Each structure stands twice: as C-alpha cells, then as structure tokens.
Amino acid sequence: MIAISKSSQDTGSIKSNFTPKMLPTTLPIASNL
C-alpha cells in the first residue's frame, strides 16, 4: 500500500516496485493514474 502512495507520481515505478503476483491488480490502477 505504501508503494502505491509513494509511487503514485511515477506509474512506471509502481510496476517496477510491485511483485509479479501483484501486477495484475496494479495494472488497472496504473491505467487510472
């Protein structure tokens, strides 16, 4: 959760920081950002 708030500025960083198992969940979030 912290990574989302911290990396909310960089959508690229979000994908890099999250583990592969979390990617499917974060992809839609990154698109919204």
Q: pLDDT per residue over 1-33, tens digit each? A: 455 555 555 666 655 665 566 556 666 665 665
Structure confidence at residue 30 (pLDDT): 59
pTM (global) more than 0.95: no
d(CA 21, CA 19): 5
Residue pair 29/1 in contact (Cβ under 8 Å)? The answer is no
d(CA 27, CA 12): 11
Domain total in the chain: 1
Q: Domain residues for 25?
A: 2-32
